[in-house]
Amino acid sequence: MFRRTFWFTTGVAAGVWATTKVNRKLRQLTPESLAATAANKALETGARLKDRAVGFALDVRDNMAQREAELEDALGIDQDPGLPAPRRYTALENNRRNPKYIENTTYSYDRNEDH
């Protein structure tokens, strides 16, 4: 009697364990779960790539500045050439004096108008 009860209980426990395992796996394989997993992995990969790209850009910038300093020393280039400040608003000033359009025209820009 004790032997039968033991094996019956063991079988029930194994069945419950196997059923829960199968149900968990089925839930993991639903389209929504697969999409969420893929999205999470894509976000993690994107963050890693961004960090690596930023690190690479900073390394390039540092090495570029170092190489420029080496070249300036080798060529004897002065850091302050003493040039006058550039004019920034030249194009805007010329544009105000010579407008490219005529304000009082009879032409209509309405494309739906019959011609």
Ranges of each domain in the chain: 7-75
Neighbours of 8 (CB within 10 A): 10
Q: What gap in Å lies between CA 68 and CA 61, rounded to an integer?
A: 10
Chunked into runs of 10 residues, the chain (115 residues) has average pLDDT values of 92 96 91 91 94 94 93 79 58 51 57 61
Per DSSP, the residues of 16-65 read HHHHHHHHHHHHHTSHHHHHHHHHHHHHHHHHHHHHHHHHHHHHHHHHHH
What is the pLDDT at residue 2? 86
What is the pLDDT at residue 28? 87
